[in-house]
Amino acid sequence: MSKYVNLDSLMGKTTSVPMTNFEISGMVQMEQEGVMEDNSLFPSLSFKERVSGYIIAFIVSFLLSTMSWIALPHSLRKYAALNTMANIVSVGGTMFLCGPSAQLKRMFDETRRGATTVYLTSLLMTLISALILKFVLLTVLLMLAQYLAMIWYTLSYVPFGRSAVLKVLSRFT
């Protein structure tokens, strides 16, 4: 792998930038620093194989999510179960990229701990409510908690994302 990135298509002239200054969601830098090798879910897999694992998990997650929406008019329980499994596969897929330890460290960082706890708890409780208890209202509420927790978690990665949403919501109170 070259240590330089050719930026011809971006700048219209031949310009090379050291690879350490170029990041694709941090993965290139992580690979060079050995973070992915030491902390990967499968350390023996190459970078390309780990990215392939993530892509496969993303596709499986997308298919499960699509199936959940198809099931919704017929069975809320099937929708909840399939959608929750899609979310679990999606989160699990990211572990191919950075490894379970790094993923959990980010998820349980001080700023994300609450959202992560609500999200993971609602995932588990949704499956229990939909498949074991078969309690429709609780299942709907837990699905709502999943979505809200994921939104709040995602906003923690957007600069000023949470404060902007809180500011907008404060206008309605």
Instruction: Produce one character per residue of 66-89: b if its CB has 16 or more CB atoms within 10 Å, e if not.
Output: ebbeebeeeebbbbbbbbbbbbbb
**pLDDT score recorded for residue 4:** 46
Measured between alpha carbons, how far is residue 148 from residues 6, 24, 69, 96, 131 in Å? Answer: 41, 28, 18, 25, 22
* Residue ranges of the chain with per-residue pLDDT less than 70: 1-41
Q: Which of 90, 63, 62, 96 is nearest to 146 (CA)?
A: 90
> Considering the entire predicted model, what is its pTM?
0.71
pLDDT in tens, 121-167: 999 999 999 999 999 999 999 999 999 999 999 999 899 999 999 99
**pLDDT score recorded for residue 108:** 96
Measured between alpha carbons, how far is residue 83 from residues 90, 130, 142 in Å? Answer: 10, 11, 12
Average pLDDT, the chain: 82
**pLDDT score recorded for residue 41:** 61
Count of Cβ atoms closer than 10 Å to residue 29 Cβ: 16
